Structure 1
Amino acid sequence: MTTRPILFVCLGNICRSPLAEGIFKSLADGAGLGEQLPSDSVGLGRWHVGHPPDPRSIATAARHGLDIADFRARQLEPSDFDRFSLILAMDHDNLAGIRARAPARTGAEIHSFMAFATGRALDVPDPYYGPDQDFEAVYKMLFSACQSLLEKLSEPTRS
Structure 2
Amino acid sequence: MGNICRSPSAEGVFRHLIEGEGLSSQFLVDSAGTHDYHIGGSPDPRAQSAALARGIDISMLVGRKVLPNDFLVFDYILVMDYDNLDDLISVRPDTATAVVDLLLNFTVEHYGRVVPDPYYGGVDGFDRVLDLIEKGSSSFLDSVQTRSRETKS
State TM-score, norm by structure 1.
0.90
> Which one has the bigger helix percentage?
2
Alpha-carbon separation, structure 1, partners of 2:42 and 2:150: 37
What is the CA-CA distance between 1:151 and the residue it aligns to? Answer: 1.3
Partner residue of 1:97 out of 76, 84, 87: 87
What is the CA-CA distance between 1:100 and the residue it aligns to? Answer: 0.3
Whether contact under 8 Å (2:103, 2:137) holds in the other structure is no
1:43 aligned residue: 33
1:128 to 2:119 alignment: yes
> Structure 1: which 5+ residue stretches go unaligned?
1-10
1:157 to 2:146 alignment: no
Q: Which amino acid aligns with 2:39?
A: V
> Structure 2: which 5+ residue stretches go unaligned?
none
Q: Deviations over 1:47-77 (max 9, x none)?
A: 1000000000000011000110000000011
Moved >6 Å (runs of 4+): none
Whether contact under 8 Å (1:51, 1:73) holds in the other structure is yes
What is the CA-CA distance between 1:38 and the residue it aligns to? Answer: 2.1
Determine what percentage of the aligned residue pairs are the same residue: 38
Alpha-carbon separation, structure 2, partners of 1:122 and 1:148: 14
Q: Please, what is the CA RMSD of the aligned residues?
A: 1.0
State TM-score, norm by structure 2.
0.93
Q: Secondary structure at the match of 1:157?
A: helix
Q: Which amino acid aligns with 2:126?
A: F
